Structure 1
Amino acid sequence: MQDSESGPPGLSCDSHHLEKAGILHYSRTILTDLVCAGLFHGSVAFADEWRTELGAFRVGIVGGSDLRGAAARAEPFRLALEEGLAMPVEIFATRDYPSLIDAATRSRIEYAVLSPLAFAATRKSCDCFEPLVAASSGDGTDSYRMVVIASATGPQNPQGLNGAAVGALRVGGAGGLDLALLELAGNGLDLRQTPNRLVLFDQGSQLLSALQNGEVAAIIGWSTLAGDPTEGYSRGTLQQLAATGGEISDYRVIWKSAPIPYRVHAVRSNLDAEAKTVLRSLLPAMFEADPVAYDSIEPVYGGGFVAARPGQFTVLEKLLPQDVETAPVAQ
């Protein structure tokens, strides 16, 4: 039966093995300390190899037209990562998501803060990044769904909307409308084909009024589908309908998309395991332990970080063409 030691006898720091090796003319205590010290420093040197190789840990963010300002606002986050990783950390700000995706695929950064569609594009382009955490909202949700809302006396499913007018906002986030149209087509309702009609509105208030006034048979909106359903859930189009004085019982959700995560924080897949372990411990605790650092990188989503999985973004890859450089990446 073997001993329960984790390492080979020749590398153990137990003095029993030194005695068995015949080293008795030295002080057992002194020699043991010397051997253990050598092993310790060797392991530290090995652990620091990836830090030395990187030189600096680069965090990619989208800064818009004010790159310096964006980097300055993220300074508390940079300091938190620098302390946790025990190495220099730099903010790599780009003007837009396509530029950030390019930096990721060209190995110019180790860490990226991405929209869900931008992450899907990065992953499809090189499969070189993996999600660590996603931002969550103050209502406890870490994703939302696109939904089709109809009147309670209207169609009960998407197929019932064939030949009818369906409203939607002209501008949506993270490819939400595109995803809804794609999935609805797979469910028997292709709103880009006649006689179906997709009516686009510029303002949310116009969209809600169109449903309330019967101008459209249904609308494409979004919802967390979390919280009290009698109040329209925690956030989203149903909640907005309730806020306008409408009775939630007058409406119903007849279709919902797959969940769409909020912003994702991802790292290079080949990043050293120690760095990933540090970040997986540091990031979920940041909202409570260092709220200033969290707010500096996630000023919108005030619920902290939760673990993210690659499978959460698979549905968004459907929106990407073969040439991901032409993909509709949300700005």
Structure 2
Amino acid sequence: MFTRFVNSAAAAAIAVSAFASPALANDWKAELPVFRVGLLGGENEADRLRKNDCMVQQLGEKLGVKVELFPASDYAGVMQGLLAGQLDAAQLGASGYAGIYLQDPEAVEPIFVALENDGSDGYYAMMYARADAGIENLEGMKDKSLAFADPNSTSGYLVPKAELEMQGINPDEYFSSTGFGGGHEQAVVAVLNGQYDAGVTWTSGVGEVKDGYSRGALNSMVGKGLLNMDDLRIIWKSNLIPNGPWVVRKALPAEPKQIAIDWMEALYETDYECYVNVSQGEGKGFKRVEHAFFDNIVEMRKRELEGSR
């Protein structure tokens, strides 16, 4: 249960808080003394907390209540927290949002997606192998092992699986084995260590390849000195995927919801470094979106769920 996660997170002091200047109490502040933000897995917990500390400080000041970050070990932890009303906001992949919507359409609403450096609002799933493995393309992956990132990841599972199936490839038969790396960063490490022959992850698809592109899991790892792109070869790329949304709890009072929206909308202009950290890479700001932006992913996730029954 996510409740146990929250309790253990607090006990382990992994929640980070910021208090704003004293202000007159508003009715909604009595109802919402803490604004709780879920952080998806994908990279180590300390890095996630560090990158989002600017949000803790700045949004806490705007709201006049403390902001707490709750980093889950996997995507499901954040999804469960939102469904249970134990989180007020989070950044999700499109598949994670679709999974929540299919369980409870009234749980959350999407507010923003990040724009890439070229102004586009989508990204790509890419399959990568070790550069020295002799695997040049998807055909070279026949009877080789593949690491998906997370069962609730759009680029790390849903889209690659669906697009491969549309190409007539059954992953269970085509690859010698498949598994989950436990997150994007963890799957890359598993491939580099020879535990899998290839993996799939997300990238903006724009920018310099040596930098791991301008945004995404590879870019983050290059920036932290954990990856040299010369050690990987990109062997497959998906069609364009809609960027994942920042969501807020639908039942959130109107005033704090608007304060959070206004802060995020201006962040690209007011503090670009914070924007880069919160949005997981360089880009052109946030774009307002509604549910219809994710219609295709919702249908894809629905078919995946129906196929697994």
Q: TM-score, normalised by structure 2?
A: 0.56
Closer, same or farther: CA 181–92 of 1 in aligned 2, 3 Å: closer
- For the 8 Å contact 2:40–2:73, the answer to whether it is kept is yes
Contact 1:60 1:111 in 2 (8 A): yes
C-alpha displacement of 1:172 = 6.8
| Paired amino acid for 2:69 | I
Post-superposition offset of 1:296: 2.7
Deviation at 1:61, TM superposition (A): 0.5
Q: Which amino acid in 2 is paired with 1:67?
A: E
Alignment match, 1:288: 269
Aligned twin of 2:90: 112
Specify the alignment match of 1:179 in structure 2. Answer: 159
Q: Which residue of structure 1 aligns with residue 291 of structure 2?
A: 310
**Corresponding residue SS for 1:107:** coil
Q: CA deviation at 1:131?
A: 0.6
Q: Which residue of 2 aligns with 1:12?
A: none
Per the alignment, residue 301 of structure 2 pairs with: 319
Between the aligned partners of 2:203 and 2:44, the Cα distance in structure 1 is: 32
CA drift at 1:138:
1.5
Q: Which residue of 2 aligns with 1:36?
A: none
Distance 1:100 1:85, change over 3 A: same
Bigger CA drift: 92-101 or 82-91? Answer: 82-91
Q: Which runs of 5+ in 1 are unaligned?
A: 1-43, 148-164, 204-221, 228-233, 236-255
Specify the alignment match of 2:122 in structure 1: 143
Q: Is the 8 A contact 2:111 2:290 kept in 1?
A: yes
Identical-residue share of aligned pairs (%): 24
Is the 1:130–1:310 Cα contact (8 Å) retained in structure 2? yes
The 1:319–1:73 alpha-carbon spacing in structure 2 relative to 1, beyond 3 Å, is same
Report the secondary structure of 1:109's partner residue. Answer: coil
Question: CA 1:224–1:299 in 2, change beyond 3 Å: closer, same or farther?
Answer: closer
Spell out, residue by residue over 1:87-132, the C-alpha distance to the aligned partner (whole angstroms, 9 max, x if none).
Answer: 2211111111111111111111100111221121122222201111
- 2:259 is matched with 278
Paired letter, 2:301: L
Native 8 Å contact 1:60 1:113 kept in 2: yes
The answer to whether the aligner puts 1:93 opposite 2:60 as a matched pair is no
Aligned residue for 2:267, secondary structure, equals helix
Q: What residue in structure 2 maps to residue 56 of structure 1? A: 34
Q: Which residue of 1 aligns with 2:49?
A: 71
- Distance in 1 (alpha carbons) for counterparts of 2:43 and 2:114: 24
Q: Which amino acid aligns with 2:259?
A: V
Match of 1:23 in 2: none
Contact kept in structure 1, 2:93 and 2:243, CA below 8 Å: yes
**CA distance 1:295–1:322, shift in 2 (3 Å):** same
Inter-CA distance 293–175: structure 2 relative to 1 (3 Å threshold): closer
8 Å CA contact 1:77, 1:294 repeated in 2: no
- Structure 2 spans left out of the alignment, 5+ residues: 1-22, 127-137, 178-186, 189-201, 208-213, 216-237
Q: Indicate the SS of the match to 1:112.
A: strand
Shift of 1:198: 9.0
**Which whole-Å deviations, capped at 9, do the CAs of 1:239-268 have from their partners, x for residues lacking one?**
xxxxxxxxxxxxxxxxx95x5222321000
The AA in structure 1 aligned to 2:68 is: E
RMSD: 4.6
Deviations 1:7-63 (A, max 9, x none): xxxxxxxxxxxxxxxxxxxxxxxxxxxxxxxxxxxxx98x92222111111111025
Which residue identity lines up with residue 114 of structure 2 in the other structure?
A: A
Partners in 2 of 1:223 and 1:65 — Cα distance?
14
Task: Tell me how far 1:182 sits from its aligned partner.
Answer: 3.9
By how many angstroms is 1:167 displaced?
7.6
Distance 1:71 1:144 in 2: 24
Partners in 2 of 1:273 and 1:55 — Cα distance?
15
Amino acid at match of 1:135: A
Larger radius of gyration: 1
Match of 1:297 in 2: 278
Distance 1:289 1:224, change over 3 A: closer
Alignment of 1:1-331 (within 5 A): 48-63=26-41, 66-127=44-105, 128-144=107-123, 170=146, 174-176=153-155, 178-179=158-159, 182=162, 190-192=168-170, 259-317=240-298, 318-320=300-302, 321-322=304-305
| Conserved? CA contact 1:58–1:89, under 8 Å | yes
